Amino acid sequence: MSKKDEIFISVDVETAGPVVSEHSMLSIGACLVFQPEVSFSTMLKPISEKSIEEALAVTGLTLEKAERDGLTPTEAMRQFADWIVHNTPENSTPVFVGLNAPFDWGFVNYYFLKYFGSNPFGFSALDIKALFMGATGCTWHDTKSSSIDKVVNPRQKGNHDALDDARYQAELFRLIYRLCQN
């Protein structure tokens, strides 16, 4: 079996709460890690009326806005899958990259499986926090984005807009990846 090229894709989601099957994923932002201008963004219609006020407050989104302006989950996940396939050359593997990847991947995986039938990323994700911990030998406590920022000095900052955050995460990944190369 030959080794496939890996296409790192930074993904961020904004949700109505922390429970994958109960709270809605309201927006997805994604970009190629090494070409962040190649990006994807969409808002999704809610799958339930359940929400956590703090989760909505941090994003500025509302269930009403998502219902009005969002795509159905089926259409959103189809478009995202098409974008991933379009940006993953033949004989390459898309790699999901996230900051606290288990959270974001959990929502994306659930939505892909439920509304699209398969997950183009497969069953794994690369977590930037874990990469940073491995690259620096720091404690888990020191993997907060504010702590990472102090070490790698990114130009961008997170702001809870899914696409902006995906681009910020891509920059963090590139900077940490360079630390690993030294």
Domain range for 149 is 5-181
CA–CA gap between residue 31 and residue 123 (Å, rounded): 19
Q: How many domains does the chain have?
A: 1
Asked if pLDDT for residue 181 goes beyond 90, the answer is no
Query: For position 180, what pLDDT does the model report?
Result: 85
How many percent of the chain have pLDDT more than 90?
92
Query: Which domain CATH number covers 71?
Result: 3.30.420.10
**pLDDT tens digits, one per residue of 98-146:** 999 999 999 999 999 999 999 999 998 999 999 999 999 999 999 999 9
Active-site residue, from 23, 86, 141, 160: 160
- Where does the pLDDT of residue 2 fall: very low under 50, low under 70, confident under 90, or very high at 90 and above? low
Mean pLDDT of the chain: 95
160 is catalytic: yes
Mean pLDDT calculated for residue range 53-61: 93
CA–CA gap between residue 156 and residue 158 (Å, rounded): 7
Record the pTM.
Answer: 0.95
Query: For position 113, what pLDDT does the model report?
Result: 98
Query: For position 124, what pLDDT does the model report?
Result: 87
